[in-house]
Amino acid sequence: MKGLGTIIQWPAEAIWEAVSPLLPTFSVEVVPEIDSTNTELMRRARAGQLEPVLLVAERQSAGRGRLGRNWSSGGGAIEAGEPLPSLTFSLGLPLTPLDWSGLSLAVGLSVVESLHPALQLKWPNDVWLQDRKMAGILIETASVGEVRYAVIGVGLNILPRDIQGLSMPPAALREVLPDMDAPTALARVAAPLVSAIRRFETEGFAPLRAAFHTRDLLYGRELVCSDGITGMARGVDASGALLVHTDTGLKKITSAEVSVRPISAPSALSAHRP
Ligand code: BTN
């Protein structure tokens, strides 16, 4: 366990104790600042460091999001004693699932189930609260020899903030959990996430489909996809593909390169999820 240069009390030891029976060479590392926890673990993997690790950064200078976007953690320099505006961490581990499809949904589901019943998932893995994004997940993999190493990055807004130029400010966990802070959120999320990933490795996404539907923000809503498809969201299939009822029939969307946006409010149909 390493916590170099940080004065915040992180639950590194408790997480290590909970996770190391599942992942014997697991370690937890907390750094005050880094470019990006995902970038760092991908760099390490390519250099042959393939042990399971949880890397937490109090601040990222070049956080990355899906589809080549930036990820801003909010705030500038953090004064001593001030709460962190967000929780940013990456979990890196060698992974050998029979089928990788649905991993991002399984990760999102684990995060929301660990935090609050009001949190929803926007396919494939954004966490939303009251129709605004609250957290994002970026999954990357590196193949090193025979090993496939997965880096699962999570960025989660803790404090509400105004972002200039955004009509809809992002949501924050404190809106539903007023006493929440980044270390407490990490303590709630980290060990269940490792367990969920290990389960996914052997069982895949199919057993999680019904639970995903209970948190599915898009279910029964009209949506538009970045590849031009429009239609009504009808949940996901057993592999985690998004099902969209269009004028020309049911379409399955599997590509992580596609982004989707709801264009209607929740409908009565959303109460009847499979
Ligand atoms: C998205 O919504 O586009 C995904 C955002 C993922 C952000 C997290 S913060 C920790 C990890 N490090 C990064 O650079 N990105 C992920």
- Tens digits of residue pLDDT in 46-93: 999 999 999 999 999 999 999 888 998 766 666 667 899 999 999 999
What's the pLDDT band for 260 if we cut at 50, 70, 90? Answer: confident
What's the pLDDT at 168?
77
Q: Which helix (H) or strand (E) holds 91?
A: strand 86-94
Phi, psi of 181 (to 5 degrees): -135, 170
Nearest ligand 1 atom, CA 67: 3
Distance from C-alpha of 10 to C-alpha of 46, rounded to nearest angstrom? 28
Overall average pLDDT of the 102-120 stretch: 98
Of 66, 122, 188, 209, the catalytic one is 66
- Residue 215 Cβ contacting ligand 1 at under 6 Å: no
Query: Is 188 a known active-site residue?
Result: no
Closest protein CA for atom 9 of ligand 1: 155
Query: Is 66 a known active-site residue?
Result: yes
What's the pLDDT band for 203 if we cut at 50, 70, 90? Answer: very high
Q: Within 10 Å of residue 79's Cβ, how many Cβ atoms?
A: 7
**Does residue 27 have a pLDDT over 90?**
yes
Q: From ligand 1's centre to the CA of 36, what distance in Å? A: 8
Nearest ligand 1 atom, CA 38: 12
The percentage of the chain sitting over the pLDDT mark of 70, rounded to a whole number, equals: 90
Of 43, 132, 133, 251, the catalytic one is 133
Q: From ligand 1's centre to the CA of 38, what distance in Å? A: 7
What's the pLDDT at 252?
93
Asked, as a colleague might, if the bond just before 24 is cis with ω within 30 of 0, I would say no
* Strand 2-3 relative to strand 27-31, pairing: parallel
Q: From ligand 1's centre to the CA of 136, what distance in Å? A: 6
**Does residue 172 have a pLDDT over 70?**
yes
Report pTM: 0.92
- The alpha carbon dihedral of 118, 123, 125, 126 has a sign of negative
- Residue 92 Cβ contacting ligand 1 at under 6 Å: no
* Strand 86-94 relative to strand 230-236, pairing: unpaired
